[in-house]
């Protein structure tokens, strides 16, 4: 009886479902549909102009997995993405956690100002971040090399962007500089949301700051760590702007900074340093990378749900 009355008060589906249609339609048309059709494009040889005609079946895929063909540059690029992920993970999880913990324990007003300041580089276009640092890291007249020389540290004045050993870590460092604000805020949010009873209980039991951190705060932030790791993983495969600006489309020196984004760009749109070109091949490469990224991301989400439960 009560149920029936309640239902009669609620509006009928048709009166509200129409509000869902415009958003769903735009999303399906311009995100889901292109996503699904990348599977179709990957089966064609297509130069980027006109209709899809030259059907080659799994030809693009067999070229990708051919050791004499595309496998080597693709594996190299993906490994650079994995390296990117590993180093950003260390930087954003360790330094990000440390900064969040310090912000958590200092005066709230100071903390609020610093939170906003730390977030600012995250808002700057990555292209600008790239130019900014390429100006400072210019080996000749750049501010950093001058500062190092002036401080008598000229042995540290290295071609950070020009040596194949240092270029990739330098790009990751620049990316971490720009992105640090986000993990800091995520960690801080999680710390603020720890119930104060738990912290009070720890204090009553005589736990010092270090014990509280390692035994209470750290374990309670496990699922936040997995969130940060997952987001870092996904964003590590989107890297493109910084490498493009700092190292060009050929991702020099000698492909030392070639990531999936730059390889994909060269394959689809050509450009200096392209190994093989073709939009169909690029689409197939994206499909392969997508499954690789997704399988690992799914594992991380699964892990997060397991950790979140207990």
Partner 1 sequence: MRWRSDFWVSGLQYLILGLWGLIVLIPLLNLLMLSLKSLPGIVARPFSLPSTLHFSNYVNAWKLGDLGIYLFNTAWMSVLAVAVVLGLGSLAGYVLGRFDFKGNRFLYLVFLAGLALPIQMIAVPYFGMMEALNLINSPWSLVLLYGASGLSFSVFILTAFARNLPTELEEAAWVEGATPTYVYWRIALPLMRPILASVGLFNFVSAWNGFFFPLILLTSRHNMTITVGILSFIGEHLTEWQYLLPALVISMLPPILVFLIVSRQFIRGLTSGALKI
Give, as ranges, the residues between 273 and 292 that touch partner 1 (CB under 8 A).
Answer: 279-280, 282-283, 286-287, 289-290
Q: Does 265 bind partner 1 (CB under 8 A)?
A: yes
Q: At what angle do helices 33-41 and 279-309 cross, to 10 degrees?
A: 130
30/165 with CB nearer partner 1: 30
Smaller CB separation from partner 1, 117 or 165: 117
| Rounded (10°) angle between helices 143-150 and 126-136 | 40
* Binds partner 1 by CB under 8 A, chosen from 148, 234, 274, 303: 234
Q: Three-state DSSP class for 45?
A: strand
Q: Does 246 bind partner 1 (CB under 8 A)?
A: no
Site for partner 1 in 159-218 (CB under 8 A): 177, 180, 185-186, 188-189, 192-193, 196, 199-200, 203, 209
Q: Does 26 bind partner 1 (CB under 8 A)?
A: yes
Token representation of residue 76: 């190299």
Residue 162's nearest CA partner among 143, 132, 134, 127 is 134
Does residue 293 interact with partner 1 by CB under 8 A? yes
Whose Cβ is closer to partner 1: residue 41's or residue 84's?
Answer: 41
Q: Taking CB under 8 A as the criterion, which residues in 41-60 touch partner 1? A: 41, 46, 48-49, 52
Q: How far is CA 13 from the centre of its chain?
A: 39
Q: How many Å apart are CA 266 and CA 282, to the nearest integer?
A: 9
Pick between residue 36 and residue 165 the one whose CB is nearest to partner 1.
Answer: 36
DSSP state, residue 156:
G
Q: Which of 66, 238, 270, 299 binds partner 1 (CB under 8 A)?
A: 238
Distance of CA 231 to the CA centre of its chain: 6
Distance CA 280, CA 40 (A): 9
What is the residue-wise DSSP string for 30-44? IIIHHHHHHHHHTTE
Interface of this chain with partner 1, residues 92 to 151, rule: CB under 8 A: 95, 98-99, 102-103, 105-106, 110, 112, 114-128, 131-133, 135-136, 141-143, 146-147
Residues within window 56-85 making contact with partner 1, judged by CB under 8 A: none
Q: Which residue has the tokens 């100002």?
A: 113
Report, in Å, the least distance between residue 101 CB and partner 1.
Answer: 9
Window contacting partner 1 (CB under 8 A); options: 23-31, 71-79, 152-160, 250-258: 23-31
Length of the chain: 310
């Amino acid at each position: 009886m009560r149920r029936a009355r309640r239902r009669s008060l609620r509006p009928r589906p048709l009166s509200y479902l129409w509000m869902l249609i415009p958003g769903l339609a735009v999303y399906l048309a311009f995100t889901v549909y292109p996503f699904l059709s990348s599977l179709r494009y990957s089966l064609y040889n297509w130069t980027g102009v006109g209709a899809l005609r030259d059907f080659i079946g799994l030809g693009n895929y067999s070229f990708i997995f051919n050791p004499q063909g595309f496998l080597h540059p693709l594996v190299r690029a993906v490994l650079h993405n994995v390296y990117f992920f590993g180093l950003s993970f260390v930087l954003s999880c360790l330094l990000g956690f440390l900064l969040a913990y310090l912000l958590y324990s200092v005066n709230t007003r100071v903390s609020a100002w610093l939170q906003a300041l730390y977030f600012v580089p995250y808002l700057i276009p990555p292209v600008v971040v790239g130019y900014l640092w390429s100006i400072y890291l210019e080996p000749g007249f750049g501010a950093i090399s001058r500062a190092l020389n002036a401080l008598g540290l000229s042995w540290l004045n290295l071609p950070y962007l020009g040596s194949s050993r240092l270029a990739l870590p330098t790009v990751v460092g620049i990316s971490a500089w720009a992105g640090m604000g986000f993990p800091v805020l995520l960690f801080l949010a999680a710390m603020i949301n720890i119930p104060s009873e738990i912290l009070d209980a720890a204090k009553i039991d005589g736990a010092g700051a270090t014990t509280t951190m390692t035994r209470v705060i750290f374990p309670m932030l496990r699922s936040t760590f997995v969130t940060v790791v997952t987001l870092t993983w996904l964003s590590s495969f989107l890297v493109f702007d910084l490498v493009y600006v700092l190292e060009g489309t050929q991702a020099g020196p000698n492909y030392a900074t070639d990531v999936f984004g730059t390889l994909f760009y060269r394959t689809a749109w050509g450009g200096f340093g392209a190994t093989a070109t073709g939009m169909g091949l690029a689409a197939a490469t994206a499909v392969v990378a997508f499954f690789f990224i997704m399988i690992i991301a799914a594992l991380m989400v699964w892990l997060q749900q397991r950790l979140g439960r207990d």
